[in-house]
Structure 1
Amino acid sequence: MLRITTTQAKAIRRKRADLGLTKKLACKEIGIGYVTLNNLERGEYMTKPSIYAKAMEWLAKDY
C-alpha cells in the first residue's frame, strides 16, 4: 500500500479544477472509481500501487 500525501491530494484537486473536470469525468480520465477519487483528494490515504500509479501518471500527463 502507498500513501497519498496532502501535497499530492492538493495537486489532484488543482489539476481537476484547472481542467474544469467534474469528479465523474476525472474518474474516467484517471481510470478509478468515484469513491477512490474522493479518498485521494482528501489525502493521507493508503492505496494500492496500481491506483497510486494511475493517479501519479494522470498528474504527470501534459506537464
Structure 2
Amino acid sequence: MQNITKDQAKAIRRKRADVQSTKSMVCRKIGISEKTFNKIENGECLVKPTVYAKVMEWLAKDY
C-alpha cells in the first residue's frame, strides 16, 4: 500500500481546481472510484500501488 500525504492531497485538489474538473470527471479520466478519490483528496490515506500510480501520473501530466 502507498500513502497519500497531506501535501500530495493538496496538490491534487489544486490541480483539479486549476483544470476546472469535477471529481467524477477526474475519476473517469484516471479510472478510479469517487469513493477512493474522496479519500485521496482528504489526504493521509493508504491506496493500492496501482491507484497511487494512476493518481500521480494524472497529477504530473501537463502540470
Aligned length: 63
1:20-59 alignment runs, 5 A limit: 20-59=20-59
- TM-score w.r.t. structure 2 length? 0.96
How far has the Cα of 1:29 moved from its partner? 1.3
**Which letter does structure 1 place at the counterpart of 2:16?**
R
TM-score by length of 1: 0.96
User: Where does the alignment leave 5 or more consecutive residues of structure 1 unmatched?
Assistant: none
Structure 2 unaligned residues grouped into runs of 5+: none
Note the alpha carbon deviations across 1:18-63, whole angstroms, 9 max, x for none.
Answer: 0110111010112111001000000000010000000000001013
